[in-house]
């Protein structure tokens, strides 16, 4: 297995949550009387911050990208890696904007609804292109910079990185919102 295998598998979970975020944004955009679902927003923020950013982006930034910094990357790979890091930062900014707007909404600020929708739409727009870039243009090609032993070491380091994280919890989080007949 390549070190990018687990990362690509994580992308599939992130895509599922992003689809739910997009659905909520679309519903809010389509119906001005629909109120943001605070429970969903809380779960989406928790997922984005803990699973997508801390767990997934953490492995990319602190393991894969750190190892790549020690290699002589092509200009295209170096540029793509920097763009991916910028995307991670943009995701953090959008999560903060969503949290701020959600808190304002909960405090009775009706104007915060538009900021919630904008942040949800921003997250829904950011991740599909970001994931496609990693999956299609970056992750597999950059594996050529590493020896088989370096790849094996990275897999071990990635396993150690998130060994204590509760990835099953995030699967359950997504599944509960994907179920159309769930109880609120």
Q: What are the residue ranges spanned by the domains of the chain? A: 4-178
Residues 22-67: tens digit of each pLDDT: 999 999 999 999 999 999 999 999 999 999 999 899 999 999 999 9
Residues 56-101: tens digit of each pLDDT: 999 999 999 999 999 999 999 999 999 999 999 999 999 999 999 9
More confident residue, 56 or 182: 56
Residues 138-167: tens digit of each pLDDT: 999 999 999 999 999 999 998 888 765 556
- 4-178 in CATH: which number? 1.20.120.520
Q: What pTM did the predictor assign?
A: 0.88
Contacts of 3 (CB under 8 A, 6+ apart): 63, 64, 143, 146, 151, 154, 155, 158
């Amino acid at each position: 297995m390549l070190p990018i295998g687990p990362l690509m598998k994580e992308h599939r979970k992130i895509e599922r949550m992003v689809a739910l975020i997009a659905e909520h944004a679309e519903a809010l955009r389509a119906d001005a009387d629909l109120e943001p679902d605070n429970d969903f927003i809380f779960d989406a923020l928790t997922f984005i911050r803990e699973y997508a950013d801390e767990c997934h982006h953490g492995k990319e930034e602190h393991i894969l990208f750190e190892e790549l910094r020690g290699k002589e990357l092509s200009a295209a790979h170096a540029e793509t890696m920097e763009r991916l890091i910028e995307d991670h930062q943009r995701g953090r900014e959008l999560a903060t904007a969503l949290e701020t707007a959600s808190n304002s909404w909960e405090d009775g600020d009706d104007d915060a609804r538009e900021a919630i929708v904008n942040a949800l739409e921003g997250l829904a727009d950011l991740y599909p292109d970001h994931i496609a870039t990693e999956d299609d243009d970056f992750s597999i090609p950059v594996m050529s910079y590493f020896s088989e032993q370096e790849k094996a070491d990275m897999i071990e380091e990635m396993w150690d990185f998130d060994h204590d994280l509760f990835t099953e919890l995030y699967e359950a989080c997504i599944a509960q919102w994907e179920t159309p007949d769930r109880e609120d």
